[in-house]
Structure 1
Amino acid sequence: MRRSSSKGIDGMIRYVSYVCGRSGATRSKSSNPLRPQPNVKIGCNAKLRRGLEEDGKWRIRVLNLEHNYTLLTPTKSKFFQCNRSLSSYAKKKLDVNDRAWIRLSQNYQSLVIEAGGHENVTFTERDCRKHIQKEKRLRLGDEDAAALQNYFIKLQSEDNRFFFFSMQVDDEGRLKNVFWDDPMNKEAYKEFGDVVTLDTTYLTNKYDMPFAPFVGINHHGHSILFGYRLISHEDVETFTWLF
């Protein structure tokens, strides 16, 4: 991590010092189980200092690569978040087994056995649990999804020019995301749409789907609604579809 830096009179950084994230000493010896230390300080002296010379080139002035603890081996790099991923096959098998009421631990172990051991698996049991939880968040029954669609179609038939809705389904035809907008919201956006915010902090339905309204501010300083959505996941794919 960066320990310190300094700038010259021209505003450019002239000196930077980097140290190990475990340098120094822990300030408090008391341990709070509700707020664990992400990286315990143990006085590691590994460091790198560099400075900008007159010729415009950076020069390393101090370098110590010796840590006072055992570093992770390259074989453990797969445990970093950036290197973990669930294949489409693994996701499909997790979903099928979960619907068959197979326990998560057994579900995960079956994938490990197929891969030939833990060293060949690109994900952890926790990743599997997260995926299953995300899939469970929106498993609407056929009647619920159909009723919602029929209601929106009815509203659109009454005012075909202004009422708008869009529904996204997955490969199995299950409802994933819904967006709708009525004439009053559209008029409000025309008048006060200079700034739009999107709030995903509401969980107001039995499916635990984030209800995310598009919100603005009117001329009285009050919040005003521009549109609505219900989503199953808060990921890049979902937000791309929405916007």
Structure 2
Amino acid sequence: MRTKYGGFEEVGATKDDCKNFIQSLTYYIGEHDAEMAVQRLSEKKNCCDGYLFEYTVNFNGELNRLFWADEISKKNYLAFGDIISFDATFKTNKYDMVFVPFTAIDNHCRNVTFGAALLSSESIEAYSCF
């Protein structure tokens, strides 16, 4: 906002006001972030034809698995899905979940995406859900 309006004095808020707003927003989202992600992907599934989104929660109601793929990803899979690569090395400390992109190489030697998942464990059961 400072850059867009030419300085904090033109924004109508101080630098500290902006920092406090971001801190409050982060605190709120911290309690509802999984719900917000599920809601956003559910909305996308409802409005976008061919969008695939599935999730599960554990007995505590915590997000356990989340998978999504759009129509282009599904077409990529049909065309280039002979060999699938997935790298489950992206862990987040806050959620202890693994981000798993499912990718391959197209006929131009470029990466294409088939879908992505967030998993609470790297067990066979976690992958077989989808």
Q: Does the pair score TM above 0.5?
A: yes
Look up the match of 2:121: 233
C-alpha deviation, 1:142, in angstroms: 5.1
In structure 2, relative to structure 1, the CA distance for the partners of 1:201 and 1:155 (3 Å cut) is same
Structure 2 Cα separation of the partners of residues 142 and 174 of structure 1: 11
C-alpha deviation, 1:234, in angstroms: 1.1
1:13-52 equivalences in 2 (<5 Å): none
Alpha-carbon RMSD: 2.0
Look up the match of 1:188: 76
- Is 1:144 matched with 2:66? no
Report the identity percentage. Answer: 34
Structure 2 Cα separation of the partners of residues 142 and 176 of structure 1: 16
Structure 2 Cα separation of the partners of residues 147 and 168 of structure 1: 15
Structure 1 Cα separation of the partners of residues 107 and 125 of structure 2: 34
Deviations 1:69-95 (A, max 9, x none): xxxxxxxxxxxxxxxxxxxxxxxxxxx
Task: Give the 3-state SS of the residue equivalent to 2:128 in structure 1.
Answer: helix
Paired letter, 2:122: E
Which of 40, 55, 66 pairs up with 1:167?
A: 55
Task: Give the 3-state SS of the residue equivalent to 1:239 in structure 2.
Answer: helix
C-alpha deviation, 1:144, in angstroms: 1.2
Structure 2 Cα separation of the partners of residues 205 and 193 of structure 1: 31
- Is 1:156 matched with 2:29? no
Look up the match of 2:22: none
Look up the match of 2:64: 176
In structure 2, relative to structure 1, the CA distance for the partners of 1:191 and 1:238 (3 Å cut) is same
Task: State how many pairs are aligned.
Answer: 102
In structure 2, relative to structure 1, the CA distance for the partners of 1:143 and 1:225 (3 Å cut) is same
C-alpha deviation, 1:236, in angstroms: 2.7
Task: Give the 3-state SS of the residue equivalent to 1:216 in structure 2.
Answer: strand
Look up the match of 1:131: none
Paired letter, 2:97: M
Structure 2 Cα separation of the partners of residues 190 and 237 of structure 1: 24
Paired letter, 1:173: G
Structure 1 Cα separation of the partners of residues 97 and 59 of structure 2: 19
Paired letter, 1:196: I
C-alpha deviation, 1:204, in angstroms: 5.3
Which structure has greater helix proportion? 2
1:1-150 equivalences in 2 (<5 Å): 143-150=32-39
Look up the match of 1:219: 107
**TM-score, structure 2 as length reference:** 0.70
**TM-score, structure 1 as length reference:** 0.39
Higher RCO, 1 vs 2 (CA within 8 Å, ≥6 residues apart): 2
Task: Give the 3-state SS of the residue equivalent to 2:120 in structure 1.
Answer: coil
C-alpha deviation, 1:193, in angstroms: 1.2
Larger Rg: 1
Query: What are the ranges of 5 or more consecutive residues in structure 1 without an aligned counterpart?
Result: 1-140
